[in-house]
Amino acid sequence: MESNRYDVVVVGAGIAGLTAAGAAAHQNLKVALVATGPGSFVLGTSSVKAHELLEAGQTHELSEAIAFCREMARLAGCPLEEDAADGRWLPTLLGAFQRVALAPRALWQAAPREGASAAVVGIHGLTTFDENFMADRLNENARRIGSSCIYTAHQISFTRDFGIPVSSVRVAKCFDRDPSFRVEFASALRKAVSGAQYILLPGLLGMNSSAQQIAEFEREVGCAIGELPTLPPSIPSLRLSQRLEGYLRRAGVEFFRGYPVEQIEIHEDSPIRLQVASPGHPMILRGESVVLASGQHSASLLGGQCAGRDQQMHPLTAAGSAMAQNLFVAGSLLDNGSGNSGEAIEILTGYRAGTLAAATRGCYAGR
């Protein structure tokens, strides 16, 4: 096979694109993923709200898609926890609680615990997080949802220079690579929060740390730690994205990061041709089948012609016919009404499109 030819090319690295690439790689195919940056799942709260799951409808296929996505995250070392029936109350950026159906474990652990005393810990110089604000709000809102959890505010300082203001990315990277920093961090936490049953921190515990590494850190501190959502960049979300990417790379997926696909050409008898706007001269990739999962950007790749999609995830022309049998769309491409992308739909459509794209491999002459 030519080096730039793939069974499946996925465009977009949001949760839809990652799931699609995972589903295709699962079939032992040659898969490429092209993306400019992290998707909105990663930039945002990297969780599926309970109401989104409800709106998506509790179908067998959705359960299967979520189970697949969770298994992928588990193997990636960044497990996603789920409560599809009721959801869990998790804190928001403004210190309210919302019901969440699916979230990375570190965020999941920030749920209120009955009768517990929780220490909300801020970092001196990390100006986008205020522990006093958060503790006040959580106390107020815990009463509102009938929880008896008590929150108290604490602050710790680092002796190392993480910039002014402190950058959470720098702290997280140091957490990843410097064991002595983890020791210092754990000891500062232990001193600050004696008596608390668990700790809530702004997302800081590593850009690439595994669930096991975080569990070791918790043992060092002596209690459970939950991470709170922050303004982007959200460290728990980046961690999920990095771990998933690492896992997919190990599964053989090739990543092309940083440059957008600027053009796609559909040919009847040969693979779809994708032109990537890499510097110097464009890079060409060919996909036996292609999944577009880059949100609004996908729509412009289709030349604004896309009038919807069918059950097989094929984009439709204005006349209502599939544009091509080996072209699929996933994610929030056609969902521009509410302004709320609906992460459950992303996972479902990513899974479906990835699986269907993989199923077209039979017609690949080069194999």
- By CB under 8 A, name the one of 94, 183, 359, 363 that touches other proteins: 94
**Residue 55: what residue type?**
E
Residues from 131 through 190 that contact other proteins (CB under 8 A): 132-133, 136-137, 140, 164-165
Q: Does the protein bind other proteins through residue 127 (CB under 8 A)?
A: yes
Nearer to other proteins, 209 or 294 (CB): 294
> Is the alpha carbon torsion for 282, 285, 286, 289 positive or negative?
negative
Nearer to other proteins, 159 or 180 (CB): 159
To other proteins, the closest distance from the beta carbon of 44 in angstroms equals 4
Q: Does the protein bind other proteins through residue 33 (CB under 8 A)?
A: no
Residues 46-75, mask of contacts with other proteins (x by CB under 8 A): ---x--------------------------
Residues 309-338, mask of contacts with other proteins (x by CB under 8 A): -----------------------x---x-x
Euclidean distance between CA atoms 170 and 48, whole angstroms: 27
To other proteins, the closest distance from the beta carbon of 284 in angstroms equals 25
How many residues sit close enough to other proteins to count as binding (CB under 8 A)? Answer: 34
C-alpha closest to that of 80 among 41, 124, 117, 30: 41
To other proteins, the closest distance from the beta carbon of 91 in angstroms equals 10
Burial class (CB in 10 A: 0-12, 13-18, 19+), 133: middle
Q: Does the protein bind other proteins through residue 299 (CB under 8 A)?
A: yes
Nearer to other proteins, 94 or 363 (CB): 94
Task: Looking at 95-250, list the stretches that DSSP marks H as alpha helix, in order from N- to C-terminal side.
Answer: 105-108, 131-144, 168-177, 179-192, 211-221, 235-250
Q: Does the protein bind other proteins through residue 242 (CB under 8 A)?
A: no
C-alpha closest to that of 80 among 93, 69, 91: 69
C-alpha dist (Å) from residue 197 to 21, 81, 194, 220, 327: 40, 21, 9, 14, 52
225 in Cβ contact with 190 (< 8 Å): no
Q: What is the DSSP string of 167-186?
A: PHHHHHHHHHH-HHHHHHHH
156 in Cβ contact with 188 (< 8 Å): yes
Residues from 339 through 358 that contact other proteins (CB under 8 A): 339-341
Euclidean distance between CA atoms 91 and 110, whole angstroms: 7
Nearer to other proteins, 99 or 273 (CB): 99
**Which residues lie near other proteins (CB under 8 A)?**
40, 43-45, 49, 92-96, 98, 125, 127-128, 130, 132-133, 136-137, 140, 164-165, 229, 231-232, 295-296, 299, 332, 336, 338-341
